[in-house]
Amino acid sequence: MNATEARPDVYSRPAARFAGDGSMEVRASAAAGCRRALWYAATDREITNPPDAAAVTVLETGTALEPVVLRAMARAGWEITPGDPVEPEEVSVEAASNVRVVGHPDATGRMPLLPDAASEEASRIGMLLFGSMPQIRCLGGETVVEVKTRGPEAFRRWKTLGAERSHPEAVAQAAFYTYGKFGEARDAVIATMDTGARRWDIEVVPADRVERALEDACERMAQLGRHLALNGPDPDALPDRDFPSGDWRCRRCPWLTACLPRESPEDPDDATDADETPVTDADARDAIASYDDARTAMKDPGAARRTALDTLKAWMRGRGDKKATLDGRKVSLVETRRFSVDHRRLNEMLDPEDRRRIVTESVSEHVRVT
């Protein structure tokens, strides 16, 4: 390897390719992706939308940080066996009679044997409430560790929703590695680093859900296998699209223009929305100036109010009173109680379907000016 090569060739193999016997080999990290994209990859379709330099940098940053996450886990007491960076162990699962999923696990590991006091308490409560001890379940057992890096927003989403909802492809990947490595369902660990704050955390996907993720992924691969058996490696016999137009996975797809020509960034039809009143650059500049004026006007009164309230809070605490009257004005020390949910434990304890009923998601839009 020269100095600029991050990884050996095995890591840069195509998402899918045909083997000498006519079967298809799919990369584990792509096995939960779009089957049409896999077909483009296997039939050597020319890439129409290569990742730009910024996307490549993000990708390489994620790759470079994987050993950092593993070392951090080791420092936290995990017994980590990282994959060999030069000759990684290949694992392989026969997902269908003519489709094989292959890959290289980032690492395997064993959880720290002595959980901290908070974990012990939570496990004890979990035992009482649910009859199981999620933190203890795979203690001592070797598990696959799948390392991911996410930006702050994606990290928060993963922590709240769990990997099965936020990044199901990572769970399918870990499931293939688990079966390929151990030949059975086991708990799998998704370790994720927030690239903004450089903090990391783990999620344990229990063995029964690893099994389900593998079954779902194998069903998709079996459909691809039937398509291959019916059409042979015909580049023009495309499988149906797996994602709707506009899906984020399509926007990042290297064959976006080939698959959905109207979605192409060059498509002039996409440049403006005919139903919206056009906003000129001058309008936007005026909006920023108004925003700055409003912000300046708000800033000082807000700060002065906070300082006054802090003074009054210290005064009330000093008196040990919750209510007081000063110069005819009533002053109260109001307590606000907040309840928080430990999403990590919730994600481990409950099926994604149950969680979907409890943790709901909504999207709103706002504009930020910096």
Sites of contact with ligand SF4 (CB under 6 A): 34, 36-37, 241-243, 249-250, 253, 255-256, 259-260
Query: The tokens 């976006």 sit on which residue?
Result: 256
Beta pairing, strands 16-18 & 91-96: unpaired
Are 172 and 32 in contact by the 8 Å Cβ rule? The answer is yes
Task: Kindly give, in sequence order, each residue whose CB lies less than 8 Å from that of residue 86, ignoring residues fewer than 6 positions away.
Answer: 1, 8
Could you say which DSSP state residue 45 is in? P
Instruction: For residues 361 and 370, give the distance between their C-alpha atoms in angstroms, rounded to a whole number.
Output: 27
Task: Provide the minimum distance between the beta carbon of 14 and ligand SF4 in the complex, in angstroms, as a whole number.
Answer: 14
Q: Which is nearer to ligand SF4, 37 or 185 (CB)?
A: 37
**C-alpha triplet 91, 351, 183: angle, nearest 5°:** 20
Task: Kindly give, in sequence order, each residue whose CB lies less than 8 Å from that of residue 334, ignoring residues fewer than 6 positions away.
Answer: none
Q: Which is nearer to ligand SF4, 34 or 218 (CB)?
A: 34
Q: Which is nearer to ligand SF4, 5 or 240 (CB)?
A: 240
Task: Provide the minimum distance between the beta carbon of 226 and ligand SF4 in the complex, in angstroms, as a whole number.
Answer: 18
Task: Provide the minimum distance between the beta carbon of 169 and ligand SF4 in the complex, in angstroms, as a whole number.
Answer: 12
Task: Provide the minimum distance between the beta carbon of 245 and ligand SF4 in the complex, in angstroms, as a whole number.
Answer: 8
Residue of 307, 355, 308, 315 lying closest to 333 (CA atoms): 315
Q: Which is nearer to ligand SF4, 91 or 99 (CB)?
A: 99
Task: Provide the minimum distance between the beta carbon of 356 and ligand SF4 in the complex, in angstroms, as a whole number.
Answer: 24
Adjacent-strand bridge partners of 18: 24
Task: Provide the minimum distance between the beta carbon of 257 and ligand SF4 in the complex, in angstroms, as a whole number.
Answer: 9
CA atoms within 13 A on the CB side of 264: 14
Q: Which is nearer to ligand SF4, 36 or 137 (CB)?
A: 36
Residue of 115, 159, 154 lying closest to 137 (CA atoms): 115
Q: Which is nearer to ligand SF4, 193 or 259 (CB)?
A: 259
Q: Which is nearer to ligand SF4, 36 or 344 (CB)?
A: 36
Task: Provide the minimum distance between the beta carbon of 173 and ligand SF4 in the complex, in angstroms, as a whole number.
Answer: 17
Q: Which is nearer to ligand SF4, 32 or 122 (CB)?
A: 32
Task: Provide the minimum distance between the beta carbon of 354 and ligand SF4 in the complex, in angstroms, as a whole number.
Answer: 29
Instruction: For residues 75 and 150, give the distance between their C-alpha atoms in angstroms, rounded to a whole number.
Output: 21
Instruction: For residues 201 and 73, give the distance between their C-alpha atoms in angstroms, rounded to a whole number.
Output: 9
Are 217 and 172 in contact by the 8 Å Cβ rule? The answer is yes
Instruction: For residues 303 and 232, give the distance between their C-alpha atoms in angstroms, rounded to a whole number.
Output: 70
Are 229 and 223 in contact by the 8 Å Cβ rule? The answer is no
Q: Which is nearer to ligand SF4, 83 or 239 (CB)?
A: 239
Task: Provide the minimum distance between the beta carbon of 140 and ligand SF4 in the complex, in angstroms, as a whole number.
Answer: 41
Instruction: For residues 76 and 235, give the distance between their C-alpha atoms in angstroms, rounded to a whole number.
Output: 49
Query: The tokens 């720290």 sit on which residue?
Result: 112
